Amino acid sequence: MDPLIDPAEYKALLESIRSAYGYDFTDYAESSVKRRITNFMNNKGLTTLGKLGTRLLNEESMFEEFVQDLSITVTEMFRDPSFYKSLRENVLSRLATYPVVKIWLAGCATGEEAYSIAILLKEEGLLERSIIYATDINQRSLEIAKHGVYSLAGMTTHTRNYLHAGGKTAFSEYYTAKYNSVLFAESLSQNILFSPHNLATDKSFNEFQLIICRNVLIYFNQHLQDKVIDLFYDSLCPFGFVGLGSKESLLFAGQKENFTEIDRKEKIYMKAK
């Protein structure tokens, strides 16, 4: 345990945040949250949790920064290309049987994954009748995602990922480069709805054929993981699909008997009951 963080003060801080702002971090993995809190305090020159709590509860702008630091925003286009290749080969042909395809991307961060899914759907002829609901707890990340503007420096990695994911054209066809930035095409973003959603506290808001939530559950404790998997189960249509991150699994989830493995390696499952 970090010497700066007293367990009782830590619990009191999270409870005060939940009461004041409605953000519930109590079931997030403690080691990760404490590490991020410590880094935040060091960056702000704060020496106690009490001082941190006072600032957070009295300065909304600082609280927004705090949420930004606690949220997981590490992402890239077509991250883990083999996952997207498996989606293309094992899932999208089944989604094509629906007149309207509804996809929930939970924990979309700054939006790179949302645009990746849109490109995948476009290449399989599904984008025009699809709606991608891309949600995140982090309002600042959502603003970045909505604009669809990213650094040109990342395009080499993104292009390589796209090709390994089975991309069917030149990746540069999907964006316009200007100076040191790129803007993704409006034909992709017009089928994406970016909006806030807190997996720890918010409920289901639609029925989906596919839910993707990658590299988010690893930051939750087992209780919250089970709660979120229950939420996904309730949000999926019969025989709908869920895709998780490479270090995540339904193995210990209470709902595991209600899902069938589609791709064990890529952590893609189908609702079976």
CATH number at residue 49: 1.10.155
Q: Which residue has the higher pLDDT, 3 or 203?
A: 203
Query: Residue 193 pLDDT > 90, yes or no?
Result: yes
Together in a domain, 101 and 50: no
Together in a domain, 32 and 136: no
Q: Which domain, by its residues, includes 40? A: 7-70
Together in a domain, 85 and 56: no
Query: Residue 1 pLDDT > 50, yes or no?
Result: no
Q: Diameter of the chain by CA atoms?
A: 57
Query: Residue 112 pLDDT > 90, yes or no?
Result: yes
**Residue after which a domain boundary falls, among 70, 90, 118:** 70
pLDDT tens-digit map of 207-246: 999 999 999 999 899 899 999 999 999 999 999 999 999 9
pLDDT tens-digit map of 14-30: 999 999 988 889 999 88
Q: What is the mean pLDDT of residues 167-176?
A: 96
CATH number at residue 212: 3.40.50.150
| 1 domain residue, yes or no | no
| 251 domain residue, yes or no | yes
Together in a domain, 63 and 90: no
pLDDT tens-digit map of 131-143: 999 999 998 899 9
Confidence (pLDDT) at 70: 84
Together in a domain, 61 and 182: no
Together in a domain, 190 and 61: no
Name the residue with tokens 């029925």. 207
Confidence (pLDDT) at 184: 96
Q: Which residue has the higher pLDDT, 133 or 178?
A: 133
Q: How far apart are CA 119 and CA 9, in angstroms?
A: 46
CB 64 within 8 A of CB 140: yes
Confidence (pLDDT) at 75: 87
Together in a domain, 46 and 169: no
Q: What is the mean pLDDT of residues 45-73?
A: 88
Rounded (5°) CA angle 41-76-265: 105
Together in a domain, 105 and 131: yes
| 2 domain residue, yes or no | no
pLDDT tens-digit map of 253-268: 788 899 999 999 999 9
**Residue after which a domain boundary falls, among 17, 49, 70:** 70
| 75 domain residue, yes or no | no
Give me 86's structure tokens: 């498996």
Question: Please, how many CA atoms are within 13 Å of residue 6, restricted to the half-sphere of its CB?
Answer: 8
Number of domains observed in the structure of the chain: 2
Together in a domain, 134 and 37: no
Together in a domain, 243 and 187: yes
Q: In what order do the strands lie in the sheet with 192-196?
A: 192-196, 130-136, 101-106, 208-213, 236-244, 268-271, 259-263
| 125 domain residue, yes or no | yes
Together in a domain, 88 and 152: yes
Confidence (pLDDT) at 72: 65
| 261 domain residue, yes or no | yes
- Amino acid at site 212: I
User: Across the strands, what pairs with 232?
Assistant: none
Together in a domain, 59 and 175: no
Residues of the chain with pLDDT > 90, as a percent, come to 79
Q: Whose CA is closest to 69, among 28, 98, 112, 16?
A: 28
Rounded (5°) CA angle 117-121-122: 115
Name the residue with tokens 């909006």. 195
**Residue after which a domain boundary falls, among 49, 70, 91:** 70
Confidence (pLDDT) at 255: 84
| 193 domain residue, yes or no | yes
| 76 domain residue, yes or no | no
